Each structure stands twice: as structure tokens, then as C-alpha cells.
Amino acid sequence: MLAFSNPVRAREWDKSERSLLRVVATLFSNALEKRDIDARLQQSTGELQERVHELNCLHMISTVMNNPHSTLAQMLARATEILPKAWIRADAVGLQVRVGEIVYHTPLYDEHQPSKLWNIRAANATVGTLTAQFLDDSTEDSRFVKEILLEDIAERIGKTVEQMRAMREMHKLSRAIEQAGESIYITDCAGVIEYVNPAFEQMTGYAMAEALGHTPRLLRSELHAADFYAHMRAVLQAGEIYRDVVINRRKDGAPYYQSMTIAPVKDENGVIAHYVACAQDISELKRAEEQLAQARAQEVAIAAKIQQTLLTGHPPASTRELAIAAGTIPSQSVDGDFYDFYQQGTQTLDVVIGDVMGKGISAALLGAATKSLFPQVMQELSATHDRHGAPDARAIVNAVHREVTPELIALNSFITCCYLRFDLATDHVLMVDCGHTPSIHYQAARGQCALLKGGNMPLGFSQRETYSQVILPYAAGDVFVLYSDGITEAQNSAGEMFGEERLCALVCAQAADEPAVLLDAITAAVAAFSGQAIQRDDLTCIVVRVMATGAQLRHEAQLTIPGDYDALARARAALQAFLAHLPAAALEDKERDLLLLAFQEALVNIIKHGYANQPAGQIVVTMKAYADALFLELAHHGASFEPKAVVSPAFDGSRDQGFGVFIMDACSEVSYGFGSQGSHLTVLRKPFTAFHVAPTCPST
Amino acid sequence: MTIAHEALPAGTLVTVCGESLDVGMIDAFKQQIQPLMNAGATIILNLEHVLFVDSSALGALLLCQRQLARNHGRLLICNVTAQVRTQFDLVHIQRVMPVYATVADALADAPGPP
């Protein structure tokens, strides 16, 4: 408990006694001056008796007022009883004491009689009155002494009221400290603990008796550096309030975090007399913070793990034809970049790269789920499709699209991806793009890079989207670079993006290098470009280098026709002659008829849209038959063609447009791109029903 | 001449002369068949010589059928070669107009003279 001293009472009684003695001395001196000694002696005896009564009365009242067990009302009641004893004749006076609501009076007090009044004041405010009615004809001197006495008593009562109020406040404060949830301790100016509250005992495990007499060093955890305490001391000795999180140690050795405030308390001379320390245990908060940090770190670890196991596949070992390198540099947060490789037989290598919109575990899971869908639909399609070899790349992407798009729409997300098939039997690449960043095709023959773009929407945009493909030939020395937008959209500190141009320049410069070397060069260049800027996205990149072409061309034919409808019959005849080289098993009659139709439609499209029916243009038709498919490449220098802009055909006869594109798509695999001489290239690909088993006999 | 035509009691028999009916001759075909598509007319289109039709031909046939149907007439197709049948199947042409094996089959199904 706090100890409260009470120096006021001792001082006050000294003063009263002094004034009474002064009065007594005066009376004595007056008495000596009187000539009639007897009379005066008698009078003095009477007055002395009065003084004795008064002194007795004062003493009694002092005793009553000092009784710590009395209430204010009890004190005032008792004082009212005692006060008339200051008079020899009890009927000489009527008295009333009033403090607030408490009122006491002697039996002879009559409120209608004239009276003299003294205010009872506490803490500079009037809190009550002491009223006296003098009922005898006592001398003026005698009355004067009584008035001094009553004034003193009024003052004495006021002091008592003031003290009792202060006590009550102190008691309230003391109880507040006792019951506070915060740990509180008070030290002297040397830091020796003088008081601790129950919360301190609970927080530290030290009972008050164990803590008193020690300094707070008792609680030190030694988990802070030495200068931590030096700083605390410096702040406090400068008379300032110290606030910080302090790690202390409980009696049982367990460390705990507390948010601490230590305030120096100065005495009336401005010298630091005490320190009051108030502390709140924030160990729970700290634990929660640590758990949160741990959870975050764990998320990054999970992200890396997801990236390694769920989101990225292993590139197949390099073959005679293709060398591959792939890698991803994860950003701080988990991302949804994914890639994988699929080999079906020895004639195809499929590469898929994708990027899920958004970040976090949800993006990663979406990426992982989508990636796992590809082999699943491939298996399903292989089981149902009636051809040899790998299922159609478009069919794979369209099946994945059908599966994933409703989910993506529901999740308000989308995925860009690029599905690239290296068809080793024909040395062609089939690309089904789903709104992904354009892939790079370094063409060794030209020493230039071309950007491969498709016109399809990302997965998750529209359930009605059908995915078309781009077909283009490759040659030995060509390099394909697939990447996520983290590469091209990497920013430097000035906010500038790395961009496709820099990437193409780099690929051109290092196209002859091993794919792994080029991959490292790309990531290093992006890192050097970004500098200190934060890596916001995963840097995902796949490099495929064509080491050698492996396709065995079985038949090849070429013809050039003018862009004129009259030349169509000749072109069809040339195709029919070319198809005649194929063994019967390669294509059924119906398939041949449909291919002829698709060929016609492709030529008509070029004449009608590419050359706008102007006869000046030429069309170079190259027909190639490989072991498992044939290609019809129609090169022209007219305008490019956008198949997505063509309206769908109306089978009810209400419109005669749109049938051509529909027929081409239905009869073969069509793609639109660029040829090696900067021409526009329409490519029709027709996979064979069975392997082309005829002996190789190239013809032109 | 792209087409030959012959008036029969059941309607007009129109025979396409060439081996192909495609974009190169479709305008001539449309011009020549137009005068035959009177109100209530039945046209029996004989494709026995045709080995190849393309999208413009398919579109033209659909337009003819639609115009005739609007005027209470009919377009009956017959003598379709295997090649053309494949191409018809692609656009499901038989959903819109009847396709018969022979001219006789088409005539048997055609309404008699009024």
C-alpha cells in the first residue's frame, strides 16, 4: 500500500496553541496593571477558569478531529457537543455547525436570534458555517477571546474537511492503481523499487516483497543491446518521459514484451524524486505479429514450392532436332506463371506457357489447375480422336477453354497462354495463342526476329471464343522464345519498360548460343535493366533452338497463278495431281474433296480480300507432303486477312457470306501469317488419316 | 452457257452444264436462273455433271431457295455427285432444301401442274 503522511495536523495545533498562549500572556500582563488586586485576582481566577475550559475544549476537539475512524458527521456531532464546554456556564452560548448537508446545534441555539458567523473554508471554498449566539453579558474581552477560539475552531473544521476530501481522492487514485490492468511500479530517484501493483506481480511473477528494494534490473532479459538501456537512462535523467517496447524476463525466466512508459516525478524544487513506470504486456500482440510474418514467409516458400512442382514442368532433354531451356525467377509474392512440355511420340513437342491474371495463392492455384488440364484433355482427345499421333493443338486448347472458362468467369479472372507445337515430322510450328505476349521467332535465314501473334482472346474472356492456330515453317538455327510479360514489362527506376525491341535485339545477337546461355542472358539483361527497382512479376522464359530439321519431305510441288478466278480450275487441277501422289490410305476421297474445297476458298479469299479482285497480284502455291500431313502454303503480297472479322455463315440461306472461312476451318487447319519473303502466308495443314508409308520421291 | 433449262409439267428442269459451279461462274448462273424463278415456280436443279461446288455456289443455292420459298415456289436438287454430296453435307444444305437421287425422284415429289 501507498503510505500517506499527514504533516498538516501537527503544524496547525502549534499555531492554535501559540495564539492561545499569547492571549493568556496578555491577560496576565493586564492583571498585573490592575490596582485592585483582590478584585482583579477574583476576576482573573474566573477568566483563568474560562481559559482552562477553552484549552480543554480545544484539546477535546483536537482529539475528535484526529480520530481516523470517525466520519465527518460523527466528528461534527461530537464537536458540537464539546464546544459549549469552552464556557464555564453552559447556558452562556448557542452554537450551530453546518458543513454541506450536515447540521448540528446545541440545545440553546435559536436560529431567530442574532448570531455571529464564521465561514468554514476548505481548499479556498466555503463549505460550511460555525454560528454562535452569546446569551450572557460577558465582558468584551472575554467575548473577544471566545471569538478567536471559535474562528480557530472553524478553521480547524475546514482543514479536517479538506484533509478528508484529499484522503478520499487519494484513496480513489490508490485503488485505481491497485486495480489497474497495467503493471505499475514506483522507484525512488536512485531506481530502487518502492511500490508495485498487483498487475506487476502477475506480469513479472515477483511478489511485492520480492521486488521492493531491488532496481528494475531484476527484470532485465539481456535481449537488448547495451546501448538500449543507456538510451533509456539518458532520457529519464534528462527528465523526459521514456516510451518503448521493452523485452523483460519473468521470474520463471520467460521473456515477455511490454509497451512501457516511464515518467520521472519531480518534487516541489524540480528535482526528480521518483520514477513511475507503467507497462502493458504485448507479448500476445508480438506473438501474433511473429506468426503473421512467419505465415508470410511460409506463403513465399509455398509459392516457390508451387512454382517448382505445380506450375513449371521439366523441359525434355535436348534431341538432335531441338534444344530447350526454361526457367522462372519468382518475384517476392506468388504468381500464376506456368509452363509445361508434352511429348506424344517422337514427332511432336508441345510447349505451353501461361500467365494467370492477378497474384497470390489463388492465381498460383488457378495456374496449377489449368496446367494440369492440358495433359488431361490430351489424354481424353487421344482416346477419342481417330488419327494417329498427337491430337489437334486447337482441339486441346478449345477443350481446356471449355473446361476452364466458366470457372474463370465466375472467379473474375482470365489466363493468357500460348500453346506451341513443334511438329518434327514436318518442321512446322503450330501456335494457338490465347492473348499471350507475342512469342519471338528468330529466323536464321534472315537473321531477324518475327513476333508471333495470334488473334485469339485470353481464356476466360468469352465462352463463345473458338481458338484458331498459326502455322509456320522453321529451319535449322531458328530460335523460339516464349516468355511472360514480366520480362517485357520489367521497369527500370525511370519507369521505362524493357520491351519487345530490347528482347528481340538480344535474341538476334545471341541466337547462336545454347538455349541455357541465351536464357541466362535474357534474365540477366532484365535484372540489369531493372536495377534496384522491385521485381513485380515472375520472369518466366522458355528458349527453344532448332538444332536440325528432321522432316522428310515426301512430295513437293509449286505453282504460281495470277490472282484471278479463271486460274482457280488450274490450281485445283494441280492440287488433284499432287494428291494423286499420295497413297490411298493417307486421305479418304471425302477428305480429298474437302481439302480441294478449302484450297479453293483460301485462293478465293486472297483474290477477293487480299487483292480486292485486282488481277495484278500473283499467288505462289507450295504443296508439301510429309510423313503424316500435307501443307498448302499460299503466299501473296496483297492485304492481310483477319478471319475473326468475318461473319458466321447463316445456314438458313438468309445470307450468303461467311461460308468460305467456315469451310476452310471445317476442312483443314488454317493459319494466317508471314512468309519468309515478307509475303502474307495462308497455310492449310491436313493431317493424314494414316502414316504416309510410300517411299520418298520428291518432285517439283 | 452455264445452265440449260427445260419446261416440264411439274416445273422447270435446270441442268448445270460445267463440271464445277464456283465463284468464277456464279454471277452468270444467278443471271440465267433469275428469269426462271417466277412466282409459284418449281425448279428442279440437276447437278449430274458437277464435281465441284464452292461456298459462293452454296450461298447462291441458298439464296435461290429462299427467293422461291418466299413466292410459294420450290427448289429441288437432284443427281448430286459424291464430291458435291460431301460439300453439301458440310453446310447441311438438305436441312433447307430437298436433295433427290434422280430427276424422276424429284419429279415424283414435285406438285403437278395447276
pLDDT digits 0-9 by tens, A525-566: 998 998 866 667 778 999 999 988 877 888 899 999 998 899
Number of residues written out for chain A: 700
Contacts A654 to B, Cβ<8 Å: 66
Q: Within A180-315, where are the H helices? A: 198-204, 208-211, 226-237, 283-305
Tell me the β-bridge partners of A195.
A186
Structural domains in chain B? 16-104 (3.30.750.24)
Contacts B67 to A, Cβ<8 Å: none
Query: Rounded to whole angstroms, what are the CA distances from A637 to A96, A575, A607, A660, B33?
Result: 125, 21, 11, 20, 36
Question: Strand pairing of A479-483 and A539-546?
Answer: antiparallel
Question: With an 8 Å Cβ cutoff, are B96 and A651 in contact?
Answer: yes
pLDDT of A396 > 90? The answer is yes
- B80 closest CA partner among B47, B44, B106, B37: B47
pLDDT tens for each residue of B33-83: 999 998 888 999 999 999 999 988 988 898 898 899 888 998 999 999 999
User: What is the 3-state composition of chain B as percent helix, strand, coil, each rounded to the nearest 5?
Assistant: 40, 25, 35
pLDDT tens for each residue of A1-21: 444 444 444 445 466 667 766
Q: Look up residue A346 and give its three cell numbers.
A: 517422337
Q: How far is B93 from B87, CA to CA, in rounded Å?
A: 9
Task: Kindly report the nearest CA distance between residue B54 and chain A, in angstroms.
Answer: 6
Minimum CA–CA partner of A572 in chain B: B52
Minimum CA–CA partner of B96 in chain A: A652
Between residues A92 and B45, which one has the greater pLDDT? B45
Contacts B58 to A, Cβ<8 Å: 656, 659
Between residues A540 and A693, which one has the greater pLDDT? A540
Q: Write down the pLDDT at residue B77.
A: 93
Q: What is the DSSP letter of A495?
A: S
Q: Which of B55, B86, B91 sits opposite A593 (nearest CB)?
A: B86
CB distance from B20 to chain A under 8 Å?
yes
Q: Which of A572, A651, A654 sits opposite B95 (nearest CB)?
A: A651
Question: What pTM does this model have?
Answer: 0.54
Question: With an 8 Å Cβ cutoff, are A659 and B95 in contact?
Answer: no
Q: Which of A600, A651, A660 sits opposite B92 (nearest CB)?
A: A651
Contacts A568 to B, Cβ<8 Å: 22-24
Q: How far is A199 from A403, CA to CA, in rounded Å?
A: 62
Task: Kindly report the nearest CA distance between residue A359 and chain B, in angstroms.
Answer: 45
Task: Please name the residues in contact with A37: beta carbons below 8 A apart, sequence gap of 6 or more.
Answer: none
**A416 confidence band (pLDDT: 50, 70, 90):** very high
Question: With an 8 Å Cβ cutoff, are B55 and A601 in contact?
Answer: yes
Q: How far is A440 from A290, CA to CA, in rounded Å?
A: 45
Contacts A668 to B, Cβ<8 Å: none
**Contact assessment for residue A550 and residue A321, using Cβ atoms and an 8 Å cutoff:** yes
Phi-psi region of B11 (alpha: psi -120 to 50; beta: other; left: phi over 0): left
Q: Write down the pLDDT at residue A651.
A: 64
Q: How far is B43 from B31, CA to CA, in rounded Å?
A: 15
Task: Please name the residues in contact with A182: beta carbons below 8 A apart, sequence gap of 6 or more.
Answer: A199, A278, A279, A280
Contacts B95 to A, Cβ<8 Å: 651
Q: Look up residue A279 and give its three cell numbers.
A: 507497462
Contacts B20 to A, Cβ<8 Å: 569, 572
Mean pLDDT confidence for A173-182: 85
CB distance from B85 to chain A under 8 Å?
no
Q: How far is A487 from A503, CA to CA, in rounded Å?
A: 8
Q: Write down the pLDDT at residue A371.
A: 92
Minimum CA–CA partner of B62 in chain A: A653
Q: How far is A435 from A417, CA to CA, in rounded Å?
A: 7
Task: Please name the residues in contact with A226: beta carbons below 8 A apart, sequence gap of 6 or more.
Answer: none
Which element (helix H / strand E) includes B14?
A: strand B11-16
Q: How far is A197 from A544, CA to CA, in rounded Å?
A: 74
pLDDT tens for each residue of A314-356: 888 878 889 899 988 777 666 788 999 998 877 889 999 999 9
Mean pLDDT confidence for A587-597: 90
Residues 42-71 of B with CB under 8 A from A: 52, 54-56, 58-63, 65-66
Question: With an 8 Å Cβ cutoff, are A651 and B24 in contact?
Answer: no
Contacts B54 to A, Cβ<8 Å: 597, 600-601, 604, 660, 663
Percent of chain A with pLDDT over 70: 88
- A31 closest CA partner among A12, A11, A46, A52: A46
Those residues of chain A whose CB sits closer than 8 Å to some CB in chain B are 565-566, 568-569, 572, 589-590, 593-594, 596-597, 600-601, 604, 608, 649, 651-654, 656-657, 659-660, 662-663, 666-667
**Contact assessment for residue A20 and residue A54, using Cβ atoms and an 8 Å cutoff:** yes
Cβ neighbourhood burial of A40 (10 Å; 0-12, 13-18, 19+): middle
Structural domains in chain A? 7-178 (3.30.450.40), 180-281 (3.30.450.20), 297-546 (3.60.40.10), 555-687 (3.30.565.10)
Q: Look up residue A418 and give its three cell numbers.
A: 500460348
Q: Which of B22, B86, B96 sits opposite A600 (nearest CB)?
A: B22
Q: What DSSP string runs through A61-98? A: HHHHHH-TT--HHHHHHHHHHHGGGGSSSGGGEEEEEE
CB distance from B91 to chain A under 8 Å?
yes
Cβ neighbourhood burial of A288 (10 Å; 0-12, 13-18, 19+): exposed
pLDDT tens for each residue of A246-270: 999 999 999 899 999 999 998 888 8
Return mean pLDDT, chain A. Answer: 85
Q: Which of A589, A590, A659 sits opposite B91 (nearest CB)?
A: A659
**A655 confidence band (pLDDT: 50, 70, 90):** low
**N-term to C-term CA, chain A:** 113
Interhelix angle A589-605/A568-579, nearest 10 degrees: 150
Minimum CA–CA partner of A664 in chain B: B55
